[in-house]
Amino acid sequence: MVPEGLHYTKAHEWVKVEGDRGRIGITHFAQSQLGDIVFAELPQVGRVLRQMEAFGVVESVKAVSDLYCPLTGEVIEVNSSLESNPEQINADPYGGGWMIVVSIADPGELGNLMSAEEYKAFLAAEEH
């Protein structure tokens, strides 16, 4: 449930590097902790985000959770289908549940993120 090749934040977002762009979502762990997601609020295309800046919100039946951008960059795509079908985040957090794509301003920032191995160890530590 932690795919190789992605980069992870301690706030449970992932980013997949696609050339000079980064595709961003929340992890399987995050969606399972939240439970049924019923609402997603995402930024507009064109907004510039700094690394770990809050870029939106997901809400489950019971909880409100902020989303943090793993990398600095400009939002160039938004998964607007999540507005009407937020349950895709539960069903397919690394696929159809992606949230935004940003243009990567500084690839060096990837060094601040965790690899799949590191994120797995982070989750194991969180559970204890």
Partner 1 sequence: MSEAIGPLRRTPLCEMHRQLGARMVAFGGWEMPVQYAGILEEHRAVRERAGLFDVSHMGEIEITGPGALEAVQYLTPNDASRLSAGEVQYSALTTPEGTFVDDITVYKFAADRYWLTVNASNIEKDFAWIREHVISGAEVRNISDEMALLALQGPRAQEILEKLTSVDLGTLRYFRFVEAQVIGIDCCISRTGYTGEDGFEIYISPQHVATLWNALLEAGTPMGLQPCGLGARDTLRLEAKMALYGQDIDDRHTVLEADLGWIVKLEKGEFIGREALVRQKAAGISRKLVGFEMRGRGIARPHYTITRDSQLIGEVTSGGPAPSLGKNIGLGYVAVQYAAIGTEFDIVIRGQPVAARVVPTPFYKRAR
For the bound state, the minimum distance from the C-beta of residue 52 to partner 1, rounded and expressed in Å, comes to 18
Decide if 86 contacts 58 (C-beta within 8 A): yes
Distance from C-alpha of 89 to C-alpha of 30, rounded to nearest angstrom: 10
- Contact string (CB under 8 A) for partner 1, positions 70-99, x = contact: -------------x----------------
- Contact string (CB under 8 A) for partner 1, positions 19-58, x = contact: ----------------xx-xx-x---------------x-
3 to 63, 84, 105, 111, 117: CA distances (angstroms)? 26, 26, 24, 18, 9
For the bound state, the minimum distance from the C-beta of residue 87 to partner 1, rounded and expressed in Å, comes to 9
Decide if 128 contacts 20 (C-beta within 8 A): no
Distance from C-alpha of 92 to C-alpha of 97, rounded to nearest angstrom: 5
Tell me if 121 contacts partner 1 by CB under 8 A.
Answer: no
Contact set with partner 1 (CB under 8 A): 35-36, 38-39, 41, 57, 59-62, 64, 83
